[in-house]
Structure 1
Amino acid sequence: MLLARARAIHLERDVAVAVVRGIAQILAVGSVLLLLLRGPRWTGVFLLVGMTIAAATTSARRARGVPGAFRVSLTSIGLGAGSVIALMAWAGVIDTAITALVPIGSMIVANAMNTNSLALNRFRSDVESHVGLIETALALGAGAKETVSPYVHAACEASLIPAIDSLRSLGIVWIPGLMTGMLLSGSEPIYAAIYQFVMIALIFSASGLTALASTLLIRTYAFSPAEQLTLRRGPSAAG
């Protein structure tokens, strides 16, 4: 933080709030899980729904100025993470016990949230930087979808870079925490490695679906029904 401040990079408030919130939230989640460990399996679903709403709220706040940011975030994260979790739970890949479903599901939701935030911010940045070009194209008769199509593709690709890099460097650059925990608990290394790869693949799948949904939805919200550009430089409501 001292180095950041010396370079006039003002992150003190964001970092302080993130640290305090992170500690408070993880303690709260631990307490809730402790109370729910012996509860029925369906309570895990409610926890994941709550996490998805919280993730959408966080992502929307990060994407201030993007019209309909919360609705886009909730739909995209819910579709991306929710469909993957539901499908894998139905297939038996993820245990539906709270002790397994919630921790694994939360990892998928969190990564979907990060992907969504990156997609929205990249799209906003690109559109704000090319407002004149977009409005000129609209004035010349181009369709709204056509004018922002390059920025949609760029946002989708950029938002998936972290997920692709994580998958590409798995086992070489980093050993994920889930595999480490399984090894420390005495699991066979091969089993732990395979299970970890499956989890990373699930996270990547959820991130991909989230990125696609997010960029397609925000393309609609960026224009009025009359195909006028509503996404402009400057803060506005994110809801």
Structure 2
Amino acid sequence: MSAGVPHPQLGAEGVGLRRGRDASLPSPTDNSGVTLNAGPGLAVAAALAVLIAAATALLAQLGTARAAVLASARAVVQLGAVSLLIGVVVRSLGTSALFVLLMVAVAAFTSARRLTRHPSGWWVVLPITAGPLPVVALLVAGGVVPATGIAVIPTAGILIGGAMTATSLAGRRMRDELIARRGEVEAALSLGFLPRDANVEIARPSAAQALVPALDQTRTVGLVTLPGAYVGMLLGGASPVEAGAVQLLVLVLLLAVETVAVALTVELVCRGLVRT
């Protein structure tokens, strides 16, 4: 549930950005009637997109054609299940919290499998949760995000997904770099470096590259892309200003939690806690 689109209720009121204006004054933009047609046309468009991805991967010999089809099929099943369950889950904070824990478990399993087959891979729970969970708690405590499941679950999902991606990218880059430059690590050890310090000198620059997508997205928002949170809020009836404010919050929060995730992943790998 990474980089998703918040529920329409995460508009001016759902994320705590109260309009603070007289109800008699018109909204700058009335989007209350904007909806997407979720009919057969949407299914055809989605199927064509998957077909294009798989065909292109085959022609270019990228080796990802099967993965693209399977990932899309999983997305259909998972989103279908979530759509059926979400109405029940969001009725109480207790069930919403359990759902957030489920997201954490799935994210940790995914990142751990990307990095290693060793049981030590479960240490990735730390970078995946160290940023998102405290941030969501602070947002709720400060009244920025209402203490309701319909607000907490999407917010947590976006941040957990970002931390998961950053952890996986940083860990894989570090693993590959440490393997390719093993001789340099051994040379540093022979000069008296501690194992952690020797690994950090080699792997840290490559791990930092995992933040490039988040940095680029933040730099180019509004100029190159209109991210999902912004578009989703517009479709949900929020004004462009309200949608922009919430999207800005989402972007900077993602940048923060992903930076924390990368920093912790560097320490876990370089200290040997995660055996790659």
Give the TM-score normalised by structure 2: 0.75
Residue 213 in structure 1 maps to residue 264 in structure 2: yes
* Match in the other structure for 2:199: 148
Residue 41 in structure 1 maps to residue 93 in structure 2: yes
Q: What CA distance in whole angstroms lies between the structure 1 residues aligned with 2:82 and 2:140?
A: 21
* Match in the other structure for 2:122: 70
Give the drift of 1:47.
Answer: 0.9
> Which of residues 151, 154, 161 in structure 2 aligns to 1:100?
151
- Work out whether residues 179 and 192 of structure 1, in 8 Å CA contact, stay in contact via their aligned partners in 2: yes
SS for the counterpart of 2:63 is coil
SS for the counterpart of 1:221 is coil
The structure having more radius of gyration, on CA atoms, is 2
Where in structure 2 are the equivalents of 1:84-233 lying within 5 Å? 84-221=135-272, 231=276
> Which of residues 95, 102, 106 in structure 2 aligns to 1:50?
102
Structure 1 unmatched ranges of 5 or more: 224-229, 232-239
* Match in the other structure for 2:67: 14
Q: Name whichever of 141-150 and 167-176 sits farther off.
A: 141-150
SS for the counterpart of 2:131 is helix
Residues 1:151 and 1:96: Cα distance change in structure 2 (over 3 Å): farther
For these two proteins, the number of residue pairs brought into alignment is: 223
Q: What CA distance in whole angstroms lies between the structure 2 residues aligned with 1:64 and 1:16?
A: 24
Q: What CA distance in whole angstroms lies between the structure 2 residues aligned with 1:185 and 1:13?
A: 35
Q: Name whichever of 179-188 and 129-138 sits farther off.
A: 179-188
The letter of the residue matching 1:135 is E
Q: What CA distance in whole angstroms lies between the structure 1 residues aligned with 2:239 and 2:129?
A: 34
- Work out whether residues 123 and 155 of structure 1, in 8 Å CA contact, stay in contact via their aligned partners in 2: yes
Q: Runs of 4 or more off by more than 6 Å in structure 1?
A: none
Give the drift of 1:95.
Answer: 1.8
Structure 2 unmatched ranges of 5 or more: 1-53
Q: What CA distance in whole angstroms lies between the structure 2 residues aligned with 1:59 and 1:52?
A: 11
SS for the counterpart of 1:142 is coil
Q: What CA distance in whole angstroms lies between the structure 2 residues aligned with 1:65 and 1:151?
A: 23
Residues 1:185 and 1:133: Cα distance change in structure 2 (over 3 Å): closer
Residues 1:148 and 1:94: Cα distance change in structure 2 (over 3 Å): same
* Match in the other structure for 2:56: 3
Residues 1:66 and 1:218: Cα distance change in structure 2 (over 3 Å): farther
- Work out whether residues 68 and 221 of structure 1, in 8 Å CA contact, stay in contact via their aligned partners in 2: no
Q: What CA distance in whole angstroms lies between the structure 2 residues aligned with 1:201 and 1:140?
A: 41
Residues 1:182 and 1:222: Cα distance change in structure 2 (over 3 Å): closer
Q: What CA distance in whole angstroms lies between the structure 1 residues aligned with 2:254 and 2:118?
A: 25
The letter of the residue matching 1:21 is R
Give the drift of 1:58.
Answer: 0.6
Give the drift of 1:222.
Answer: 6.2
Give the TM-score normalised by structure 1: 0.86
**More helix by proportion, 1 or 2?**
1
Give the drift of 1:213.
Answer: 1.1
Q: What CA distance in whole angstroms lies between the structure 2 residues aligned with 1:115 and 1:155?
A: 12
